Amino acid sequence: MVRRTLDARFMPGMWVFPGGALDDSDANPPPAFGPPPVDVWRVAALREMIEETGIWLTSDGIQEHGVTEDAFGDVIASGVMLDPARLIYFANWITPAVFPIGFDTRFFLAHVDSDTEGAIDGDELIDLAWVPASEVIDRERRGDWDLAYPTRQTLDLLSDETSVERLTSRLRSIEKVEPVQPRLLVSESDVRLITPDEPEWDAAEAAQTDPTILQRMTAVLERKGVVPAEFRHGS
């Protein structure tokens, strides 16, 4: 887990998985990022891992070179080959439709060596920690860490298995990753994100076209009601 800077416009100070946005250049990466046709999502994940943590997933194993602002250039200069197959695609979360700006985020798992440390730049990210998924959840429950809803749901999934090997095997067996786009449910005292497996799912459908839903969410926030962490901080 890595912690976002307190000055970030979006989710300041929150604990997240390493990651970032797709760049236009991810569609045309150096050959070291994998043979064509490239999967831009995997290219972006490999690049962001390098830029944010200094961890390289290579065809010869895990390497660490420190964080960089030029992942493509540094990989080319090193002469190594990265291995996109080390990334297991297992989840896809999409921002609820009620928000004017949204994210379509894919989650990957990579199995690294037990002595892998990682690094941060101290600017965009201000802390890094290797923590069991169950312990991250406990820290959120105690109020020590703030987590976004998709992060918490992903951690629940990761904590279900007793070993990395079992988890890796189970996630590799997923034939098709179905995207999850939660719905927003706003009451007088709280705001919730709900998924299709929850009983309120169908009842919340009509509320997604309510033009006042975001105003009502802001009102709950002003009344210091219960609101998901990603909506309490930043914009």
Q: What is the mean pLDDT of the chain?
A: 94
Confidence grade of residue 9 (pLDDT, cut at 50, 70, 90)? confident
44-78 burial: b if 16+ Cβ within 10 Å, else e:
bbbbbbbbbbbbbbbeeebbbeebbeebbebbeee
**Which pLDDT belongs to residue 102?**
87
**24 shares a domain with 106:** yes
Domain that holds residue 43: 2-181
Q: How many domains does the chain have?
A: 2
Supply the pLDDT for residue 24: 96
Distance of CA 60 to the CA centre of its chain: 26
- Average pLDDT on 120-129 reads 95
Same structural domain, 52 and 156: yes
Q: Tell me: the pLDDT tens digits for 156-207?
A: 999 999 899 999 999 999 999 999 999 999 999 999 999 999 999 998 999 9
State the pTM of this model: 0.93
Judgement on whether residues 165 and 218 belong to the same structural domain of the protein: no
What is the CATH number for 95? 3.90.79.10
pLDDT over 60 at 234, yes or no: no
